[in-house]
Structure formats: C-alpha cells, structure tokens
Structure 1
Amino acid sequence: MKPSWLLAALLACGSAAQALPGFAEFRSAHKVSDYLLLDRHGEPLQSLRLDKTRRALPWVPLAQMSPALLQALLLSEDRRFYEHSGVDWGAVAASAWGNLWNERTRGASTLTMQLAGLMDADLARPAAGRSATQKLGQAISAKRLEARWSKAQILEAYLNSAPFRGELVGIAALSQTLFGKQPAGLDAQEGAIAAALLRAPNAKPAVVAQRACAVLKEQGLSCAGVEGQLTAALQRRAGMPLGEQLAPHYARQVLRADGPAAQRSSLDGRLQRLAVATLKRQLAELGGRNVEDGAVLVLDNASGAVLAWVGSSGGSLSTAPELDFVLARRQPGSTLKPFVYQLALEKRLITAASLLDDSPAQLSTGHGLYLPQNYDRSFRGWVSARAALGNSLNVPAVRLGAMLGADALFERLNSWGLALPESGGYYGDSLALGSPDVSLLALTNAYRALANGGRWAPVPGRPQRRVAEAASAFIVGDMLADNSARALTFGLDSELATRGFAAVKTGTSKDLRDNWCVGFSERYTVGVWVGNAGGEPMHGVSGISGAAPVWQALMAYLHRDQLSKPPAAPPGLLRQTVAFEPGGEPARPEWFVRGTEQARMRASAQQATQQMAGIANPRDGAIYALDPDIPPAAQKIRFEGESGVWVLDGKRLGRGARLSWAPWPGRHELKLLGSRGQVLQAIKFEVRGATLKTASAATAQR
C-alpha cells in the first residue's frame, strides 16, 4: 500500500494539473511591466513603465526568437526535449534517487517541468528547495502539459515566462535590456549567455561566463570575448525598451483615461513621426533666438480623433520635457480674433465687407489708457472686416470686442470650449486680443468647431452641440482662407499659403513668450505652439516665423495626395459683388447672410487729420500696450501735433508736425517747443513690453 502522504500528494497534484490553463489562456494572462501604445495601424509608438518591481515586455512568438538562442537553451537545459513527454526518464535513470530532484544541476528537470513550476504558485521552488509533494506535482503537471500543448508552445511559453537576472522576466526583457536588440537578433554568444542566466540568474559573472563558454564549446564555437560581452551587458542601464519613443505625453493621457488594457490609439504613426521631426527641425532653425520648446496637435474634423499629439520638443531641447504643452495654458494672442468676428457677424453688427475704423484708439482700463497698436504700427483708416481679420489688425478687433461687450464675448469663448478661468470684466478690452490663458488642445478644438460650422464636441467624442451660427462660422473660415485678404501684412507667399483650402491664423502673446499657428482644412485641424517651458521671451520669433512653418509642413503632408476643397456654403448665404468707395479696396465678390447684402460700401465718416495746438498724440497718461507680433523695426510711436521741436526725456529728437520714435520701455516725458523755444505742451506716457535691441531682432517678421 502506498504511504498516505504519497496518495494525498498524487490526488492533490492531479487536481492541480487538471486546472492547468490552455496555451492561449496562458498567453493572454501574460502581464507586462511596460504599457505599449500602438498607433491606429498597430505600430508601436511609445512605452511607459508601470511595474517597477519586475521588467516583463510584450510576448514574443517563437518564430521571432533567434535559432542560436533556442539551440543554446536546449543544450544547456533539456537535450532530449523533443524526445520525452514531460519527464526525461533517461536522466532520471542516470541519477541516484537522492539526486533525482536536486535542482542545483537541473539534470532531470525538463523545460516542461520548469514551465509547470512557473505556471503554478504551489509548485514554485522556495529558497529551501521543493518538497517531495511539489516535485511529484511538477512531474505530473509536466505530463499534462505535454498532452495538451505542442513542443513549440511549451518553448515559447517558457522563454516568455522564465526569470533571468534581477528584475528581468522573459526573453524580450533580457535581450532588449542587456543586449539592446530584439530576441530574433541574438547571436551565438548572446544566446549562450541567456541560457546560462536561466541556469543561475543571479550567479557571479565569472560563473555565468563559464557556463556560457561550455555551451559554446559543445557547438564547436570559440569562447573568446564572452566574459567581456557579459560584463558589458550587465553594466547596461535598464532604460526604455527598444523602438521609437514618439508619444510619451499622449500615452500617459490614454493610460489615465482608459487604463493599460487600451493599447491601440487613434494616432497615425507616420504623422506623429513627422510632427516630432518637423518641430525639432524648426526649433533648430530658430537657434540663437531663445526658443526651446513646442507642441503640436492634429485632429480629425469629423470624429475629433487625435492623429498627432506632440507635448514637448523632448529632453534634448526642452528644460521640462515631462510637461505636456498640448494641455498647458498660455496666452493665445491674435488666434482669438476669429471668434470675435464670428460673434459680431452672428449678431449682424458687421458683414465681411463692412468698413471698420482702423485709427488710433485709447480705451480706459483699470490700469490707465490702453492703446492697441497694429502689426506694422500703421493705421489704415477704413478697412473691410475681411481685410482687418486677414491682416490681423488689432484696433478693429478691440473696437468689435467693445461693441460686443466683455461679458458676452467671454461667454461665447467659453462656449467654444476655451474654459477661461476668470471673468469678462477681469480681461476687459484685452480679451479680443487673446490675453486669457488657453491650452493648445482647447484652442485647436475650437478651430475644429469652426471647421464644423459652429458645432462643438469634446476630443474625441460626441454628441456635438451647436455653439455658433453656421453662416457666420462659414464666413469667418472663408476670411481666414483668403490669402489675398492678408497680403498687406503677410504677403502672398507666406507660410500661411497652401495649395488647397485652409483657414489659418497666427498669434503671439505678450513679450514674445508664446506664438501659435492654428488652422483647418477640409478634413483636419492642426495647432502648433512654440515658446519656452519657463515662459522666457523669445528673440524676434512670432507666429509666422515660429509656429507657421510647422503648421504648413503638416498640412502639406496631410493633403499630399488630395487637395483640400472649400466647404459648401450653408443655407441662408449669398455671394454678391461689392464695390468700395473711391480710394478703397478693389471690388470683389463677398459672402453675405441673406438680408445683409450691400452692393456698395462707403465709410460712415472720414478720418480727419487733427489740427490743434500742442500735442495731439500721444495723450497725457497714455500707456502703450504694444502687440508682441510687431517686428521691432516697425515698432514706432508717432508723435503728432503743432509743428515745433520735439524733446523726449530732455533730449531733442527733431522738428515738425509729426515724428516717429522707436519705443523703449519705461515712463517718458514728451515736450513740444514753439519757434521761440517756449514749451507748448508737456505730457507723460509709458511704454510696456517693447524693445529695439539688435539688428537681427529688427528684421524679424511676424
């Protein structure tokens, strides 16, 4: 009669063996330590370390493992693997009973038995060695495995589950961490080292090298260099797994939102790769201008799917590569102007052909007088709304914002998803020029809503909700796509010009800290931000010279095979030729909301040249808040008044009724002297955020 303990062991082991999983089930339960983000085509884009206690990478099929590795493994661990059915009885017969289960040599412990020990925690080998019950159970489980699994499946499962050295589990973690290559690329020496580490994962390097050498000699191969190669492998720092690391910020977003189970993303690998490379190349070309960081976002207009998400320029350029500047809040500058015009069009305050007053304006604020300036520091008198938006004129935008009211504009901007943190009264008239902080994600998605005719939805997601009238959203898009309308400021061959339809706007924040380029085509919306992680001002870099080249490159790639077509006009619009008063803009076809059309545009009043004694401009107590998009060479303040001698801060500047002065930050006193040297008038004013320092800065373009 068998001893009771043996009978109990057999029953227990049989039950455990019956519970062994199938190969597919075991493979699906494989837990990795690193989250792997895939693009929409299944291409790996990014890895993130999740488990700090062990390093196990994605499962590797047997066909993707080096033949040299497999040969070394069988020579070292299980020579008769393809001959036995789980237990090598020949090895058992060659050993004394007392040494049968002695795993210091693994002579009788087959790969199948070792896999059984890895699969069942009850059969795992403790530090003091397995008990008789565990040894018997291991043999029974091995027999069961051999009956249900193929030899190839056993080899594959073993090499993906076996512990190697330290934290490394599985052949993928070993080969990528120690040898810097995929398992398919392991050579004979590396395969021998891997097999030796399986025998004794934490043995001293000399012992591992000796065992690897023995495996090589059995194959008739030289051992020269094995010890050095092992030393170099063990000294490698365990960094990221092999492969491109293209989307760390987006991978963290997906991981937070969906957890590690969701690996395939909406990103397009080729587009993501291009966005990363284009941003880095543009920042390199801006070398010496104190700009180190940037971000890129590409959205699908219809679905809101994220096709590219570059949160930072990366560790080689950025001082804060972990920060995600797709989500960071920065001042958007003139990129908010389209939403001002859209609301004014919707409320029928203007049409695209309406003449707006582009003349010096002084607006009261809680901090003094606010004097908005234009891009080139000149004023154009009466200009159409189309030309005012296209050329990014500040004064008309501020006037429209004042007509709308800060609270109404604030509410509408928030309906576009910008989530402004303060109130309309807090921002005041500067709201129209982009003073609040917004994220690239929110701003790009707001432009996507413009592309969708005023229908907004989260990224990604549904349902859409209407936040603006379709007709006025269409007209604003048409204005932003009009290359001729922006020619006075940007020229006809700027970085904003595209082969097909694209509506686009640039912007730069105060003191050149941030610049942007955001726009949409028929199918895509692209947003680009360029600046510094720490918020330091850039030198002579603006939306057209900093962010726009990246935007144009991505838009050209997206429509490399098919040109973007203009959208169809929504109901309620008509196109009519409009003529402007003599001396105005050339006649052109223009879009109108039905009922607002006009065949001829005439200014309601003419700007009269001020003829008055003393100083007409600037006014006493004026504070000049200059637009940072203005090129330094063009940042002139015009002194106007009675003809005389102009004296600034005690220094004589010149004579006449008008004089241009390159601004310098600080408080200033301006005097106008008469023909006999008498003071006709003295005023004080302040300049903020404008400098004219270097020749290179003076030639910068917007």
Structure 2
Amino acid sequence: MTQTVTMQNLTGQKTKPQRQTRQRTLLATLGLLFGLLPGMAMAVPSYAEVKAQYRASDAWLMARDGQVLQQLRLDHQVRRLQWTPLEAMSPALLQALLYSEDQRFYQHAGIDWLAVASASWRNLWDSRTRGASTITMQLAGLLEQDAVHGRRSLVQKLGQSADALQLDHAWKKSDILEAYLNLVPFRGELQGVAAMSQGLFGKGPEALDAREAAIAAVLLRAPNAKPARVAERACQLLKQMQQARACADLEGFASLKLVAPYEPAMPNLAPHLARQLLQQPGQRLRSTLDMRLQQYAARQLRANLLQLENQNVQDGAVLVLDNRTGEVLAWVGSSDTLSTAPAVDGVLAQRQAGSTLKPFLYATALDMRALTAASLLDDSPVRIRTGNGDYIPQNYDKQFMGPVSLRTALGSSLNVPAVRSLLHITPDRFFSRLQQLRFSTLTESVDYYGYSLALGAADVRLLDLTNAYRALANQGRYSGVRMQWANPASKSKADRPMQVFSPASSYVVSDILADNNARAHTFGMDSALATRYWSAVKTGTSKDMRDNWCVGYTARYTVGVWVGNANGTPMHDVSGVSGAAPVWRAVMDYLHRHPDGRLLAPVVRTPPAGLLQQQVRFQPAIEPVRQEWFLKGTELALVQASHDGDDMRPSKLGQDKRGAQADNSLVSIAYPGQGAIIALDPEIPPAQQRVVFKATPALPAGWHWRLDGKRVAPVKLASPRQLAGEHAQPANTPQTTDLRYAWFPMPGRHVLSLHDASGKLRESARFEVRGAMLREATPGPNAKPARPS
C-alpha cells in the first residue's frame, strides 16, 4: 500500500486526505484574504490622469489646415498610436472582447465573484481552467507602476483585485473599457487597439469586422501564439457569438495577417520636414505646408523624372515659399521610391549652384553703379592667370557672342561676361552679398572659391537658394523662412527683413529674368520658362551635370526645384531647362490658377523709387533699340562699343584688386598656355568639348603640332576666329594659313609642342585637364541639339 501511494505521488495525483486538507487550507486562506481586500488597495489614478500620461510612440506633422501630413515613429521600444475613444472602436471588437474576457463586465463591481468561486473550485480538483481575472483587474495590473513579469503570486493577485474594486468604484465602465483597450498589448510590439488594428489589418479600430475582432480578442490571452492556434481559438469565439460563418478560411486569413513586421499604415507626405520638426513621441505639430500643393509638387516631380529615367536621373526636390510671410508651402525632399537614397533631403543637401548665383552678381554690380542693364560686356575668350594656374571660362555652347548687354548676358546665362563682371566688382564684394543672403554652406574664405564663384562653383542648399531668390522678389529684403504655423501677426527679431539689395537693382534684375527676349539666344522663345503671367526665373547646371536647378518667383510665390541624383552620379545630357524647369513651371501654373482652372488676375508691378525707364540704342546696332530700366544717375541714351583692332569690344572692365587680369592676346601657344588648367565644363555638350590648339597666325607651311610626343594633323580654317567663337573677320581681312587642331580632351597632364617643317621644336607648353572623362556621343538622324541651363 505504501508503494502504491508513492507511485500516485510520482504521477502527480493526490490522495483523498491530501485533497481534503488542501481544500480546507485554501478556503480558510481565501476567506481571510478576501476579508482583508479593502485594506490592501492602493491609491489608483483617475481616468483623466491615465489619459493625460499616455504617450504614443509616434509624432504627427499636420498641414496648415490640420490634416495629417506625416506620421513619424520616435519611440522604438513599443508601438503605440493615438489614444482611441470608445466610440471610435468597432462594436464587433467590443462584443468579442466581452465574450472572450469578461461576460459579466457590466454586472460585477470589479471582481467577478462567480468566476472566482468557479475557478477556485475547479482548481481544488486539479482541473485546468481559465483564470477569473476581469477586464477591470487586468487594467489594474496594466496601471501598476512596477510591472510584474511572469506569474503573479497570490498576494499580488489579491492586491490587483483590491485595485479593481477601487477602479470600478471611481471610474465609469466605459472609461475602464477605453483605457484597457488603449493600454493592453496585442502582439509583438503592438500596444493598444489603434496600433493593433493598423499594424495587423491596415485599418482603423472603427472598421474591424467580426473575424478581425475575434482574432484581436483571442490575442489578449496569447499575444504571440502561432497563427493556426489563434485561428482555432478565434473560431471557437465566433461560434459562441453565433457567427460561425466567419470561420471560413480563417486560418489562412490569420496566417496572412499575423506575419511580422507589424507596420501600421502611416501618412507619408512630408517625411523630410517631419524629421526636421518633430522631436517628442506623441507630438502633434501644425506646419505651414499646404497638403494639396505638397501632393501636387511630389507628383509632378516624379512624373518628370520618369520621363528622364533613360538619362540617369532618379531624384529631385521642390520647395515653395510664400513671398510675403516666408511660410514654406511645400517641402518635397526626394522622389521617394524612384530615388536610390530616399532618406536624403534634397532641400537641405549641399549641391553645386551652377548659374543660379548670377542674378546676385549682377544685382551687386547694379547697386555699385558699376554696370547698368544696357552696359556692354565682352563675351570673347578670356584667360585669367591665378596662383593655381590659368582659369579659362567657357560658355555652354562653346560659342561667343562678342559684345552683349548685361540684359542679354544674364537672360541667356552667358558665362564669360559673368566672370568679367566679377573681375570688375571683385569677388570680395560679391561674396559679402552672398553671406548677407545667409548661404549657410559658404563656410570657406573667398579665396577658396576664386573666380569660379561667378559660375556657381560653390555648394548651396535649395532652401538657402530659394529664399535668396525670394529676397529679390521682395525688393531686395531678406528674411528667414517659417515652417511652423504661427499667428501671422506675431513677429520676432529673426523675422525682421534685412535690405541686401536696393529695391531698384532688384527690380531691374527681376525684369531681366522675366524677359523672354533676353533669354531667347540660349533658351529660345518657347521654353518652360515662358509663362502666361509675370515670372522671373533662372536655371543652372553644375559641373559634370550632377545637379540642375530652376528657381524663380512671381509676385506671390517663390519656387525652387533641384534635379539630380542623391548619390552624386552625373546625369546624361540633362540641363536645367529640361530637368528642373518643367517641374517649376507645373508648380507655378498650379499656384496661379483658380479652382475652376482660370489664371489668377496678374499683379501690377510698381517700379520703386530711384528707377527710371528710357529708350537706349547701341552703336553699332549690336542689339535693337529698346526701353531700358536704369538706376537714377546711370541712365544713358546711347551705348557705344569701343574698337580694338578688328574687334568691336566694350570698354575694358579693369583689374581685380588681387592683380588678376583678363588677357586676350592669345599669342604663340597661349592656348593652352604654359601651366594652364582646363576644366571640363558640364554645361557644354560632350560633342562640343573639344579644345582648340592655337598658334600665332600666318605660320609657314609644314609646321605641325605634337601632343605628348605624337604628331597631330593641322586644320585649315576659313575664319581664324570661328572655332574660338570670336567675331568673324571683316570681309576685307586677308586669309592666312591657320594652324589649329580641335582635340577631344583627356583628363591628365599633357605636353603640347609646336614644330617647324624640319621637325625642330619651336615652342612647348605643359597643361592639365581636370574633370571626369567625357563620352563623345554620335548623334542620330533625329537628334536634337542639347539645351543649355
């Protein structure tokens, strides 16, 4: 008999005396402890306190009208979304919850004594039973300051029961249900009904149907159970609720939905600005963005990039500013899925400015009264000697126009006149103006940038560049931008405008940038820059075609667009007028239309004080007679070009204070001259990137070039100045033998030598070519000429 008892004990079965002893002990203990429950209760927080202390793991960026633009996760320990009121929860979910967890929720006072008695009685007879924990008791456990992990002790369970009694007494039943469903974990890191419904089913809590609600309810008991087990329990629950038809294909449905990661569907319209502004979990910040404009700008950017996908273009950015307030109306930081690096914010990324800085250069010259819009600038080959070698700027099309007015030089984005203008006003003055415009990326000294600053060799941000153009739109007054919604009447010191350019010079530059005739030489008359309303606009393309820009403004808005690749790879034959300009034009058209499609009424631009308009003519007639704007005191009726040999040239612009001087003599092997550094220019199509070797004209027959020791054949030209882009010689100029060779440049150091007919070396020059190797494309029969920036 003793042996039998031992075997029974080993198998976990109890003898009748043992069971009786345990029953008496347990009943006595329960009676004692339940009698002590009122004294074991701790002070429980109020419903209002619990709701106020709730913090979502995410933050929300709102549009100016309060709609959600972006949801950004900041707490990566747990996933909680916004607090969901009970009335915003599906009735099916509430029904499934009560059937599964607490069927007498509305009858008991926090503790279901019938369930406690039943569970205790069954436990006495070693039956496996469900617990007697009510929803109120579970909520009490969730509210404990020191969370209890694993199984709770009997004393802990009794303390939880005492807290439940207090909760039921102090809270409304609806508040208990609401708080419980917002705090309870469902699966993985998903906590609360909002995160569960969005993470598992991709919908809000109000839209859950019967089978989704059943799955959610059974997850409360076993959050990480396998999908098959969850489906089995959910089907049992559905049958209890007389909804057995919802069990069809439930296992497959559960397997599909319960696969990690459980990522809630989130608004994703302004991720880059959200990362700039949102700092705290649960934050809800109202921005200045216009939701419809933000969506439209993003769509137009993607649409244009898709058209350029065969030209190695994947990314771009768009920024829209309100001229008057400085509010950011649209901030599109990337092309999203088209980009190889969508997290990079193109609005804040540093990119080479290209020709977009030229308006500020000429505004500086106008304010200095060094130039007028009618001043003639020399667009002919120039070499600038610097301490680091010769700087030889080129125009986009490798051609030169000779004397041109400032209006034409800026409108058609000619490079050489811009460099000559910089020589005249000095880089220091220009650099000082750019610093006043708050270009945050200009952190080096002016000597670091040198004369290439006129052509935009410096890196800038789209945010800084667009806001600098906004200063021109605001009569030369600079002020910061505003991204957060605020009372427009409130002003801070940072909002106070600073006069960088005079209203008069800003008006003249704006008038040039709006002049379709002035840009016709480079862009034609029918480009994306020609709008049906008044607008001033400038494009730019950086070195190696890595970036191109289009920035412009109307009376109301300033829009900036950058197109390129976030990883820095160059585009293939994409300029500002083909890459960024179509997006700029589409956004501008959107901004200036009524909802019914009609254009808004044009704004009349009033010339500021200190400005006058009068007729001006040129002698010779380099440009047509026209009405031109002048700052008072600089006006003139006749602009006359001086004559220098066979060439008509404007008056020389003088020297820079550093002693650098424009040298147009081009004698001997001056091009490329000794120590010359030739930079491959991205604004010149590869087919036109050839370097022309030049020697003194009228050389004897038989002389020849040798490059790196290898002989190259000469080219006889009818016009000695044609390849250099200079003016054609007068008809009475005698033709001479011209010894030139058009060479497709190869990066590296080279030695060019000139030899006579006997092969004797006469002169040599060492020079260097810098930049990425170019590919000379063979144009097809239907190929169109490349468009400039």
Distance (Å, rounded) in 2 between the aligned partners of 1:275 and 1:612: 50
Cα distance per residue 1:635-686 (max 9 Å; x no partner): 4556666356795542324313526336423446375979x99999776655
Structure 2 equivalent of residue 487 of structure 1: 520
Q: CA deviation at 1:523?
A: 2.0
Counting only pairs closer than 5 Å after superposition, residues 583-598 of structure 1 correspond to structure 2 as: 583-598=621-636
Cα distance per residue 1:366-389 (max 9 Å; x no partner): 232212111222222221111110
Structure 2 equivalent of residue 136 of structure 1: 161
Q: Which of 231, 242, 249 is the equivalent residue of 2:265?
A: 242
The verdict on how the C-alpha distance between 1:662 and 1:43 changes in structure 2, with shifts beyond 3 A counting, is farther
Q: CA deviation at 1:145?
A: 4.1
Cα distance per residue 1:500-559 (max 9 Å; x no partner): 222111111111121111112222222222222232222111211111122111111122
Q: CA deviation at 1:140?
A: 1.9
Structure 1 equivalent of residue 778 of structure 2: 695
The verdict on how the C-alpha distance between 1:688 and 1:95 changes in structure 2, with shifts beyond 3 A counting, is closer
Structure 1 equivalent of residue 656 of structure 2: none
Structure 1 equivalent of residue 328 of structure 2: 306
Structure 2 equivalent of residue 665 of structure 1: 746
For 1:225, the aligned partner's letter is: D
Distance (Å, rounded) in 2 between the aligned partners of 1:563 and 1:516: 28
Q: Which of 404, 407, 419 is the equivalent residue of 1:386?
A: 407
Q: 2:38 matched to 1:10?
A: yes
Structure 2 equivalent of residue 188 of structure 1: 210
Structure 2 equivalent of residue 631 of structure 1: 685
SS in 2 for 1:654: coil
Q: Which of 138, 141, 145 is the equivalent residue of 1:114?
A: 138
Q: Which of 640, 654, 673 is the equivalent residue of 2:715?
A: 654
Larger radius of gyration: 2
SS in 1 for 2:316: strand
Q: CA deviation at 1:85?
A: 5.5
Counting only pairs closer than 5 Å after superposition, residues 213-612 of structure 1 correspond to structure 2 as: 213-218=235-240, 219-222=242-245, 223-239=247-263, 241-256=264-279, 261-314=283-336, 316-419=337-440, 420-460=442-482, 462-561=495-594, 562=600, 565=603, 567-605=605-643, 608-609=646-647
Q: CA deviation at 1:134?
A: 1.5
Q: CA deviation at 1:397?
A: 0.6
* Percent of aligned pairs with the same amino acid: 51
Structure 1 equivalent of residue 81 of structure 2: 57
Distance (Å, rounded) in 1 between the aligned partners of 2:666 and 2:374: 37
SS in 2 for 1:263: strand
Gaps in structure 1 of 5+ consecutive residues: none
Q: 2:206 matched to 1:167?
A: no
Would you say the 8 A contact 1:577–1:589 is kept in 2? yes
Distance (Å, rounded) in 1 between the aligned partners of 2:559 and 2:182: 42
Would you say the 8 A contact 1:116–1:141 is kept in 2? no
For 1:227, the aligned partner's letter is: E
Distance (Å, rounded) in 2 between the aligned partners of 1:173 and 1:466: 51
Q: Which of 664, 671, 677 is the equivalent residue of 1:618?
A: 671
Would you say the 8 A contact 1:633–1:698 is kept in 2? no
The verdict on how the C-alpha distance between 1:662 and 1:128 changes in structure 2, with shifts beyond 3 A counting, is same
Q: Which of 17, 20, 23 is the equivalent residue of 2:46?
A: 20
Distance (Å, rounded) in 1 between the aligned partners of 2:645 and 2:287: 57
Alignment RMSD (CA, Å): 3.4
Distance (Å, rounded) in 1 between the aligned partners of 2:437 and 2:666: 48
Q: CA deviation at 1:627?
A: 3.6
The verdict on how the C-alpha distance between 1:5 and 1:113 changes in structure 2, with shifts beyond 3 A counting, is closer
* Range with greater deviation from structure 2 (202-211 or 261-270): 202-211
Would you say the 8 A contact 1:663–1:692 is kept in 2? no
The verdict on how the C-alpha distance between 1:568 and 1:30 changes in structure 2, with shifts beyond 3 A counting, is farther
Q: CA deviation at 1:288?
A: 2.5
For 1:508, the aligned partner's letter is: T
The verdict on how the C-alpha distance between 1:107 and 1:692 changes in structure 2, with shifts beyond 3 A counting, is closer
Would you say the 8 A contact 1:543–1:629 is kept in 2? no
Structure 2 equivalent of residue 642 of structure 1: 697
Distance (Å, rounded) in 1 between the aligned partners of 2:551 and 2:407: 18
SS in 2 for 1:164: strand
Would you say the 8 A contact 2:78–2:189 is kept in 1? yes
Cα distance per residue 1:25-82 (max 9 Å; x no partner): 5434321112222222222222222222211112233343333222222221233444
For 1:629, the aligned partner's letter is: E
For 1:16, the aligned partner's letter is: A
The verdict on how the C-alpha distance between 1:253 and 1:50 changes in structure 2, with shifts beyond 3 A counting, is same
Would you say the 8 A contact 2:669–2:763 is kept in 1? no
Q: CA deviation at 1:339?
A: 0.8
Distance (Å, rounded) in 1 between the aligned partners of 2:759 and 2:230: 97
Distance (Å, rounded) in 2 between the aligned partners of 1:231 and 1:285: 40
SS in 1 for 2:303: helix
SS in 2 for 1:288: helix
Structure 1 equivalent of residue 66 of structure 2: 42
For 1:577, the aligned partner's letter is: Q
Q: How many residues align?
A: 688
Distance (Å, rounded) in 2 between the aligned partners of 1:48 and 1:694: 46
Distance (Å, rounded) in 2 between the aligned partners of 1:560 and 1:526: 15
Would you say the 8 A contact 1:45–1:246 is kept in 2? yes
For 1:53, the aligned partner's letter is: Q
Q: CA deviation at 1:416?
A: 0.8
Would you say the 8 A contact 1:112–1:145 is kept in 2? no
Distance (Å, rounded) in 1 between the aligned partners of 2:755 and 2:304: 47
Q: CA deviation at 1:179?
A: 2.1
For 1:665, the aligned partner's letter is: M
Q: CA deviation at 1:262?
A: 4.5
* Range with greater deviation from structure 2 (54-63 or 440-449): 54-63
Normalising by the residue count of structure 2, what TM-score does the alignment of the two structures yield? Answer: 0.79
Q: CA deviation at 1:155?
A: 3.1
Would you say the 8 A contact 2:123–2:129 is kept in 1? no
Would you say the 8 A contact 1:373–1:626 is kept in 2? no
* Range with greater deviation from structure 2 (153-162 or 628-637): 628-637
Q: CA deviation at 1:116?
A: 3.8
Q: Which of 76, 79, 99 is the equivalent residue of 2:103?
A: 79
The verdict on how the C-alpha distance between 1:682 and 1:389 changes in structure 2, with shifts beyond 3 A counting, is same
Q: CA deviation at 1:166?
A: 2.2
The verdict on how the C-alpha distance between 1:234 and 1:679 changes in structure 2, with shifts beyond 3 A counting, is same
Cα distance per residue 1:561-610 (max 9 Å; x no partner): 22563543222212222222242222222222122222222224457349
